[in-house]
Amino acid sequence: MKKIIFIAFSLLLLGACKNKEKGQLKEDGYVINGEMESLEPESIAVLSYKQNDSTVTDTSLIEDGKFTFTGKLMHPANATISVRHGKTFPKKYQERDVYNFFIDNSAMQISAVNLIKEANLKGSVLTDESIEIENQISPLTDEIQALFKRMDGRNKEEKLITYDTIQVFVDSIRAVAHQFIISHPNSYVALQRFSRHRMPKNFDPIKADEEFNELFDKNLRQTPIGKSIAKKIAIAKKSQIGIEAIDFTQTTINGEEFKLSSLRGKYVLVDFWAAWCKPCRAENPFVVKAYNKYKDQNFEIVGVSLDADKASWEKAIEKDGLPWIHVSDLKYWKNEVALQYGVNSVPANYLISPEGIIVAKNLRGEALAQKLSEIFDKS
């Protein structure tokens, strides 16, 4: 078997270590023994997974229905085994025969009849854990998808009610994930779920930092996904309520440079949104209402767009009637200001005092008007 490593710095990295009972890295590395029936001659199996900044690919000729992969991991990872039936793969990737699982340094056995995608895997505690949590979360995810489909044709009020219902299911998913995480300490799968579910846009970085250090050992925290979590926590600590807002410079929709600190002395709402974001568009009427009421009372809004297409951005501003300052670098989720503030979902916003201090964040619906009323409508 020939092993080829392709450097892929731009790819999302996933990885972690586990304790011995949960698949800790072992000196002997991993062994995957596979067995299939009813295969054409010259069929091959291809194993693929990521390690730090690299994608590792290993190929095994399937002889007498059997194949084997061996190696050693630096950290566990999401992996795939794809089977080429005969001499060629299908041209379209979605038509390929692919099995998804978790790989660590342990002995695993995978068996299938005709298709590897329908295989049975033994010896992978990580995969078993993944199936366990996915079986709990999938029904809730299905409900959310159904609610989104039913939103077409509904008016704004009905859509807002639907978003509230969706949020109930999102909160349920987070609760299920939290229970899984605390019951599976030092688990790679739990580390993934921690990153996905325990760090929403309004998460408490102090609490998250405590949980992160209590639930996962040093080896897990030093893996790529562990380092990513630590970085998000560090960024969130810089954008907490009571902290001075991070200054930034970005280009306005008219092509001029705008600097946040140029508005020092005013209350400023930094509003992260995008034309393609339906919840953002549903929130805009509330923001417009608040702006029109307080725009002459030392209040300004800076909309930071996570769009990639300027025409769509301009069209949304015009259609929704958003008369305030708008900036973007048109880098989608890699918007520099969004990265500085740790924004990983939209809508999101930060209310900044005249002194440049964050006084509130993620004010949705009437909550924005209520907060501004507390500030400006004092008797």
CATH classification code of 249-376: 3.40.30.10
d(CA 240, CA 359): 9
Predicted pLDDT at 27: 57
d(CA 351, CA 368): 9
Q: Which two tokens stand for residue 294?
A: 């307080």
Give Cα 82 distance to the centre of its chain.
25
CATH of 3-123, one of 2.60.40.1110, 3.40.50.12280, 1.10.3720.10, 3.10.129.10: 2.60.40.1110
Three-state SS letters, the chain:
CCEEEEECCCCCCCCCCCCHHHCCCCCCCEEEEEEECCCCCCCEEEEEEEECCEEEEEEEECECCEEEEEECCCCCEEEEEEEECCCCCCCCHHHCEEEEEEECCCEEEEEECCCHHHCEEECCHHHHHHHHHHHHHHHHHHHHHHHHHCCCCCCHHHHHHHHHHHHHHHHHHHHHHHHHHHHCCCCHHHHHHHHHHCCCCCCCHHHHHHHHHHHCCHHHHCCHHHHHHHHHHHHHHCCCCCCECCCCEEEECCCCEEEHHHHCCCEEEEEEECCCCHHHHHHHHHHHHHHHHHCCCCEEEEEEECCCCHHHHHHHHHHHCCCCEEECCCCHHHCHHHHHCCCCCCCEEEEECCCCEEEEECCCCHHHHHHHHHHHCCC
**CB contact burial 214-240 (16+ within 10 A = b; e otherwise):** ebbbebbbebbbbebbbebbebbeebe
- Are the beta carbons of 47 and 79 closer than 8 angstroms? yes
Q: Answer left, alpha or beta for residue 303, where phi above 0 means left and psi between -120 and 50 means alpha.
A: beta
74 phi/psi in degrees, rounded to 5? -85, -30
Is 0.75 topped by the overall pTM? no
- Are the beta carbons of 251 and 258 closer than 8 angstroms? yes
Predicted pLDDT at 125: 96
Predicted pLDDT at 297: 93
Instruction: Sort 271 into a burial class: Cβ within 10 Å, 0-12 / 13-18 / 19+.
Output: buried
**Domain residue ranges of the chain, discontinuous segments joined by +:** 3-123, 127-237, 249-376
Question: What does pLDDT average to in each consecutive run of 10 residues of the chain (379 residues)?
Answer: 35 31 57 93 96 94 96 95 94 92 96 95 96 97 92 82 90 96 96 93 88 95 94 91 96 96 97 96 95 95 98 97 98 96 91 97 92 85
d(CA 141, CA 149): 13
Q: Which of 239, 222, 242 is nearest to 230 (CA)?
A: 222
